[in-house]
Structure 1
Amino acid sequence: EEEEEEGLPVVGEDTLHGEGEPSASASGGSGCGQARNNDNWEDEDEDEDKDEAFAVLDIFPTDHHFVQNGAETERVNAAAIHKEWKVLRRGLGAAEDDGTMPIVVRAFESRLDLLRAMIVGPDGTPYADTLFVFDLQIPQAYPDEPPRVFFHSTSSDRLNPNLYEDGKVCLSLLGTWSGPGWVPGTSTLLQVLLSIQGLILVPQPFYNEPGFEKQAGSDEGAQNCRAYNEKARLLTLRHAALTSSAAVNARWPLGLWRLVRGHYERRGGAIIQGVELLLEPVASVASSNQGAAEEPEPSQAVTPSPSASAGFLRSLGKLLPKLRSRFAR
């Protein structure tokens, strides 16, 4: 029996939260754990477009957070949305050598107002090699107003200052954070997604907290930043395992679940190696140099450091067997 407090709960159809709690969005929309009754969802077109960074599917996903907001569909600006589709198709990067696509977006012919996006956490950050899923809705006033964006969290704790456990995304473009806001006719959905990738999923998210940037360059700031990164990495590893399990067991998220499953099949070993490198740097490097030519590069999330806290290393050690079980090939 897995310990919920220290490890990963078994993911079933009704929960995806690290503490075994119901989805934070249970009262207001579809969270990760509400993706069931998926057996009836037709997703053959998902297979056809699985290698495309941007694709338009025929049927909208029933587990989309904004699926109940059907009123937007009636008066949505179809011309503006089709223009955004073209920008996304041109602007999203090509797949990396191992097949990873940094940002994937799915739009839906049957609900022009809905999109679903998946962003891979960048190397060199606590979020490396982990997938983050966002649901977007185009409002009636678009492009005069920004899109609505919901983050599918898997925890009752926050893994980033700008990504709330209840799904709120804090970004100036969305009008939910300080800074330059949405500019009608200039700002785009692609810009929103690139901002999440480049301004939120950053190497030192601690300094994104309001006022904390003043600590940059100080010993106090360095210590607080390290502690935040350790917590963020632990939450991110749990998030990776839970989303991987949901893709396999619950076909979540609809429209992208095969890509989620494929990503962790490719990169699960690298995530494990990254944890091993943190726990035993010398042993891991020596081991990886012996007959491991076909293994992926270890996940570049947190640089091994003698200053890593004992609590962080202890938590990693408890988590590692569960990660190995989740990502076993």
Structure 2
Amino acid sequence: MQRTSRLNREMQLLNTEPPPGVTCWQHENKMDDLRAQVVGGSGSPYEGGIFNLEIVIPERYPFEPPKIRFLTPIYHPNIDTAGRICLDILKLPPKGAWRPALNISTVLTSIQLLMNEPNPDDPLMADISSEFKYNRAMFTSNARKWTEQHAMPRTQGTKADLKENVIPTESTSQKRKSEELPREPTKSFKGP
């Protein structure tokens, strides 16, 4: 009963006063199965991306942390290919920092912060962590590509979408050049 009333309060708060760039809702009207979307922060390689997350609320919540994973692929040192997140508040003490005073809103805000400020010293993806530490430009480029490929809203269209949807015709620059070229007067054919 305590879990249900707490979750109801949290969901109401998430609906009326969500953290910036975060939305959360019940999946298939189940109180213990939630979905969330987190918008990539400006200035980060995830900017403009919308990342979907799955949130499973355990029976012992709030005494146990929610189980959260990314459904949208993301190139990040602290998030693996299965979407699992390495974040201390998602684990119980002594290894983690979860406390019953924390809530879903706080956790989603922390995940958004982690996206913008990776922790390469506690990675799930060692190769991406190494890239983040020693070749930041390569990391940023790869993370941006993944964001464009997996997290950009389809209505905006990514560069790849635009390329695939273009019908091969005379390019715009070729058209302009042909329009600017002086035309030779047409010679009328005079018969014999």
* Kept in 2: contact 1:172–1:178 (CA 8 A): no
Counterpart of 1:104 (choices 12, 20, 23) is 23
58, 62, 65: which is aligned to 1:139? 58
Q: Which residue of 2 aligns with 1:171?
A: 87
Compared with structure 1, are the counterparts of its residues 109 and 79 closer, same or farther at alpha carbon in structure 2 (3 Å cutoff)? farther
TM (normalized to structure 2)? 0.69
- From the superposition, tell whether residues 164 and 211 of structure 1 become closer, same or farther in structure 2 (CA, over 3 Å): closer
What are the equivalent positions in structure 2 for 1:269-308 lying under 5 Å apart? Answer: none
Provide the residue aligned with 1:88 in structure 2.
14
| 2:98 maps to which of 182, 186, 196 | 182
Change in CA separation of 1:131 and 1:327 when aligned onto 2, cut-off 3 Å? farther
Equivalent residues of 1:171, 1:178 under 8 A apart: no
- Percent identity over the alignment is 28
CA contact (8 A) 1:172 1:180 kept: yes
State the Cα deviation string for residues 34-78 of structure 1 (Å, max 9, x = none): xxxxxxxxxxxxxxxxxxxxxxxxxxxxxxxxxxxxxxxxx8821
- After TM superposition, the structure 1 = structure 2 runs for residues 211-290 of structure 1, keeping only pairs within 5 Å, are 224-240=135-151, 263-265=153-155, 267-268=156-157
| Secondary structure of the structure 1 residue equivalent to 2:31 | coil
Deviation of the 1:110 alpha carbon = 3.5
Secondary structure, in 3 states, of the residue corresponding to 2:110? Answer: helix
Query: In 2 relative to 1, CA 93–84 (structure 1 residues): closer, same or farther, beyond 3 Å?
Result: closer
* Whole-angstrom distance in 1 between the partners of 2:94 and 2:75: 20
Could you tell me which runs of 5 or more consecutive residues in structure 1 were left unpaired when the two chains were aligned: 1-74, 95-101, 213-219, 242-262, 273-319
Partner of 1:193: 108
Instruction: Write the distance in 2 (CA, Å) between the matches of 1:222 and 1:105.
Output: 32
Q: Contact 1:159–1:231 (CA<8 Å) still a contact in 2?
A: yes
The amino acid of 1:230's aligned partner reads S
1:160 maps to amino acid:
H
> What is the CA–CA distance in structure 1 between the aligned matches of 2:133 and 2:83, rounded to whole Å?
28
1:126 and 1:232 in contact (8 A); partners too: yes
Distance 1:183 1:211, change over 3 A: closer
1:177 CA drift (Å): 11
Structure 2 gap segments, 5+ residues each: 124-130, 167-192
By how many angstroms is 1:120 displaced?
1.1
* Conserved? CA contact 1:169–1:176, under 8 Å: no
Cα distance in 2 for residues equivalent to 1:236 and 1:118: 14
Residue identity matched to 1:129? G
1:236 Cα deviation after fit:
1.7
C-alpha displacement at 1:222, in angstroms? 7.3
* Residue of structure 2 equivalent to 1:69: none
1:116 maps to amino acid: R
Q: Please show how residues 35-50 of structure 1 align to structure 2 within 5 Å.
A: none
Higher Rg: 2
- Alpha-carbon deviation of 1:180? 6.3
Q: Which runs of 4+ in 1 moved over 2 A?
A: 176-180, 220-223, 325-328
Partner residue in 2 for 1:324: 162
Alignment TM-score, normalising by the size of structure 1: 0.42
> What is aligned with 1:247?
none
